[in-house]
Amino acid sequence: MRHLGFVLISMVLVWSCRSGKEPTSGETPSVLSFLIGPEKVDCIGEGPQLCYLIKEDIDGDWTNFYGEIDGFEYEPGYNYEILVEKIKISNPMLDGPAFRYRLMKILQKHKTTGSILHDIWIAQSIEGQALKQISNRPRLELMPTQGNMIGFTSCNDIRSRLKVAALRIAFTEISFTEKFCADTQDIERQFIQALERADRYEVRNLELLLYAGDIEMMRLRKVD
């Protein structure tokens, strides 16, 4: 009997390794409700990856979710509300996840024509340089579904065509008014050049980062 018990335990451990699942701790899993956004975003976990954007409260902020959800077949372009089990892993690997997540039920799934980008964003830094406390910071209002952007350069009104696809972004046909503001002309020039060069974006919680390749061109913060 002892030999049989040892064999059964060994089989369970082997199955766990082969299935790609860590042995669980035996503790009762907790049940969570997640709201999941319509697009994934670039994020850094053990390396560069794509993360879900989730909320646990409808009034909360979007946060990056770095793991996977077993049994969840995600389709971009949909908002989800799901129930998941949060299961503690027994003896997790060093720097590995302490929990795994399993889909219990999809409560809601509905297609959206909106985007996480669709909002007003205030510039915080340009090419890594924090903006000084000027009274009128540059800002963007992004309308991806209409393919438009309108904004303010800190001196002039600005608009452009906007193209967004699979975390790529492009501002084209940029035009702006021609008022001269001596105290903000350098910021205005840097702001417009950053938009012209931007080709990729990330959303991290309430921040929008615009990149040209791997170079951060601008960091903006969402405002209500």
Relative to beta strand 157-165, strand 99-111 is unpaired
Pair of tokens at residue 106: 């999809």
Q: Tell me how far apart the terminal alpha carbons of the chain are, to the nearest angstrom.
A: 66
Q: How distant, in Å, are the alpha carbons of 24, 67, 74, 92 from that of 79?
A: 30, 18, 10, 31
Question: For the chain, how many structural domains are there in total?
Answer: 2
One domain for residues 92 and 135: no
- For residue 21, the model assigns a pLDDT of 55
With CA atoms as reference, report the closest residue to 219 among 128, 147, 132.
128
Query: Is residue 5 domain-resident?
Result: no
> Same domain, yes or no, for 181 and 200?
yes
Give pLDDT, residue 39.
Answer: 78
Residue 187 lies in domain: 120-223
What is the pLDDT at residue 165? 74
Do 130 and 203 share a domain, yes or no?
A: yes
What does the pLDDT profile of the chain (224 residues) look like in tens digits?
A: 444 344 334 433 433 443 445 566 567 889 999 999 887 876 777 777 888 888 888 777 778 888 899 999 998 878 899 999 999 988 877 777 889 999 999 999 987 655 678 889 999 999 989 987 667 899 999 988 788 999 999 999 999 999 887 678 999 999 999 999 988 899 999 999 999 999 988 877 678 899 999 899 999 998 86
Same domain, 64 and 128: no
CATH of the domain at 212: 2.40.128.270
> What is the pLDDT, as a whole number, of residue 126?
94
Q: What is the pTM of this model?
A: 0.55
Model pLDDT, residue 96:
74
